Amino acid sequence: MKPTDLSLHVTNFLTRYLAGQRNLSPNTIKAYRDVFTLVLRFGRDGRGIAVERLSLAYIDVAFVEAFLDHLAQERKCSIRTLNQRLAVLHAFFRYVQSEVPERMLQCQKIMRCRCGATSRCRWPTCPRTS
């Protein structure tokens, strides 16, 4: 089976970019990896997309907002945790836009997603608005 663009970029992001260029600690890289595990599970269980078929094309603002909503509602994550997960996705899509310029608009839209004490959440089920 041919690897998807998402699998290639996640692998390079975790193993080359974070470890090599950013020189992040192994624990930080594991925390980033765990976010991608949650994203993959959400894509599979929440959106019905097989892990081996999930590609960048599937991940848009609606996907990210639904993912954060899932974390808030199903996993009972706090705002701090949601912001940490979102920060990982922002870092990843900042990396992707430099690697895949044709995805720049998609990446920038995702990087505008916000949820936290200093911003208004875009979806009504955020625990901050409850």
**Mean pLDDT, to the nearest integer, of 84-108?**
96
Nearest by Cα to 96 from 43, 60, 49:
60
118 confidence band (pLDDT: 50, 70, 90): very low
**Please, are residues 80 and 29 in contact by the beta-carbon 8 Å criterion?**
no
**Mean pLDDT, to the nearest integer, of 95-111?**
96
Instruction: Give percent above pLDDT 90 in the chain.
Output: 84
Residue 117 pLDDT exceeds 70: no
**Mean pLDDT, to the nearest integer, of 96-103?**
95
Is the whole-model pTM more than 0.95? no
122 confidence band (pLDDT: 50, 70, 90): low
Confidence (pLDDT) at 22: 94
Residue 113 pLDDT exceeds 70: yes
3-state helix/strand/coil string of the chain: CCCCHHHHHHHHHHHHHHHHHCCCCHHHHHHHHHHHHHHHHHHHHHHCCCHHHCCHHHCCHHHHHHHHHHHHHCCCCCHHHHHHHHHHHHHHHHHHHHHCHHHHHHHHHHHCCCCECCECCCCCCCHHHC
116 confidence band (pLDDT: 50, 70, 90): low
Per-residue pLDDT of 18-59, as tens digits, reads 999 999 999 999 999 999 999 999 999 999 999 999 999 999
**Mean pLDDT, to the nearest integer, of 124-129?**
49
Residue boundaries of the structural domains of the chain:
5-129
